[in-house]
Amino acid sequence: MNRLETTFLGFKFKNPIVTSSGCFGFGLEYKNYFDPNELGGIVVKGLTLEPRDGNLGTRIAETPAGMLNCVGLENPGIDVFENIILKEIKNSGITSPIIVNINGKTLEEYIDIAKRVEKIKGIDIVELNISCPNVKDGGMAFGANPEVAGLVTREVRKVLSKPLIVKLSPNVTDIAYIAKVVEENGADAVSLINTLLGMAIDIKTKKPILGNIMGGLSGPAVKPVALRMVYQVAKTIKIPIVGMGGINSAEDALEFIMAGATLVSLGTGIFINPILPLEVKDGLLSYCNENSLNNIQDIRGCIL
């Protein structure tokens, strides 16, 4: 009996542990540390229609109990992913479900890339990142406005039959309301939280450290906020939740599951400890054994 086996959007995951987009490359970069098939699923680096070089200047800055980044969605584009990278992933022996994170600067770009991934065999689940700036709306993130979040979800849903996760931004007033809106517009699941907006200043140069001035804060510092938001969303919606934000141990993962998450996503913690997913998996299994649980999902949402 596999006490960690988790059914998510019609797929059987060996365990509820996945990676956060942008923190695990394309699933091949960590093969020297552990077999990616040890994971429940792999969320690949965010993709756009065209190749992107990302932001200029310093892209990463360490902060107390966390990290700031303004990488800027650097990626090779959907063509290279389809024709080269996905084949490398499959040829490497990775069999865990592949979740592809898609991004766009306009509604039209979201629709176009959704049409592309719909046709690509080997992509099991799609994660829609609505934290991207909407260039037609003055740079405001798609996910910051409930109506726009609902619109992009609805339009992508029209062209996509594959399971759809919508990734939510925490930089909003009421994340539970936005989660409800995307659920009503066709999302099969939601993932949260994306990074919190922050910045850092070099007091010697008297200038912002990051080339983009502001960036996304991740790591243990955001965990209490992320946990609170997962709890609030779990009380509001009926679709599954992928919980993330500062998970650095099995104990952290257990908190997110108890708050209502079906899957837990590891990101910044892997930079600190490349074998973190294995440690979390072992810890979850030990918890099941010690508490006579038939399955880890028996405690999901137990505090709701």
Radius of gyration for the chain, computed over Cα atoms and rounded to the nearest angstrom: 18
| Cα–Cα distance, 71 to 110 (Å, whole number) | 20
Catalytic residue, chosen from 23, 132, 288, 302, is 132
pLDDT at 134 over 90: no
Q: What is the pLDDT of residues 185-201, one digit of tens each?
A: 999 999 999 999 999 99
pLDDT at 135 over 80: no
Q: Residue 170 phi/psi, 5° resolution?
A: -85, -10
**149-164 pLDDT, tens digit each:** 999 999 999 999 999 9
Average pLDDT score over the chain: 95
Percent of the chain exceeding pLDDT 90 equals 95
Distance between CA atoms of residues 74 and 291, nearest Å:
43
- Going by C-alpha positions, the residue among 123, 106, 125, 102 that lies closest to residue 114 is 102
CA distance 81 to 291: 43
Residue 137: is its pLDDT beyond 70?
no
pLDDT at 141: 85
Residue 139 has pLDDT above 70, yes or no: no
Q: Which residues contact 228 (CB under 8 A, 6 or more apart)?
A: none
What fold does the segment set 6-299 form as a domain?
TIM Barrel (3.20.20)
Cross-strand partners of 197: 216
- The pLDDT of residue 8 is 98
**Catalytic residue flag (residue 70):** no
Q: Among residues 131, 21, 6, 17, which one has the least CA distance to residue 75? A: 21
Asked if 257 contacts 249 with a C-beta cutoff of 8 angstroms, the reply is no
Taking the C-alpha atoms of residue 81 and residue 266, their distance in angstroms, rounded to an integer, is 22
Task: Report pLDDT digits (tens) over 268-293.
Answer: 999 999 999 999 999 999 999 999 99
**Token pair of 170, please?**
């925490």
Could you state, in order of their start, the residue ranges of all structural domains in the chain? 6-299
223-234 vs 250-258: helix crossing angle, rounded to 10: 30
Tens of pLDDT along 24-71? 999 999 999 999 999 999 999 999 999 999 999 999 999 999 999 999
